[in-house]
Amino acid sequence: MVFDFARRTALVGVGLTLCLPSAHGEILKYTDLDGHVYYTDRPMKGSYYELVWRSGPDPTKTHFSAKSYLRNRSTFTPLIDATAEQLRLRPELLHAVVQAESAYDPDAYSNAGAVGLMQLMPATAKRYGVSNSWDPKENVDGGARYLRDLLERYERDVSLALAAYNAGESAVEKYGNKVPPFPETRRYVKKVLANLDRNIKEQ
């Protein structure tokens, strides 16, 4: 299945639903020579794609469609942009975090208890006065304020702020204010930075 994001009217294939217990789902992005952007779960041989989203370690709990991804992105972009402006964050960065954390799914939930668009942990939600983490506005506000505080704490070092967002501030401190050597955290930082670079280029 391929979505032409530039034309929006071209839809090839059937709806994508990730529910097979033996497979991990992915959403990949492809830009052709004419600048048209496509989203697909089935890369064509010989083509270069960018990974936009991959399902979690338990795909049986993940039901994701490319159509929902694009719809949710359109729905929550005004909220994310407004929050970024209010908190003086780069909207491209806030979007990059949301893309990596939840792929714009407000109902995203992890086995660790992280919730919503920015995958707020209960302790973080409490710290920032978020009473309902399932509410997109509260979720984005709490997560964005946490990200802003991390950027200030690490003197605008985006990699360190992202590492702390993923692994916690104590983990960053433990390893001498460097990105911890956790494979998951390093993959996360790399993914968000790639999202950020892509978002900037799309402006």
Give the catalytic positions in this structure. 101
- Name 123's Cβ contacts closer than 8 Å, sequence gap at least 6: none
Residue 53 φ/ψ, nearest 5 degrees:
-155, 145
Cα 71 to Cα 65: distance, rounded to the nearest angstrom: 10
- b/e code 70-87 from CB counts within 10 Å (16+ = b): bebbeebeebbeebbeee
Q: Could you identify the residue written with the tokens 């978002």?
A: 199
Cα 162 to Cα 118: distance, rounded to the nearest angstrom: 12
User: Is residue 129 packed enough to be buried (19+ CB in 10 Å), middle (13-18) or exposed (0-12)?
Assistant: exposed
Q: Could you identify the residue written with the tokens 């830009």?
A: 31
Q: Where are the alpha helices (DSSP H) in 46-135?
A: 66-87, 91-101, 122-127
- Name 88's Cβ contacts closer than 8 Å, sequence gap at least 6: 148
Given a contact cutoff of 8 angstroms between Cβ atoms, the answer to whether 165 and 147 are in contact is: yes
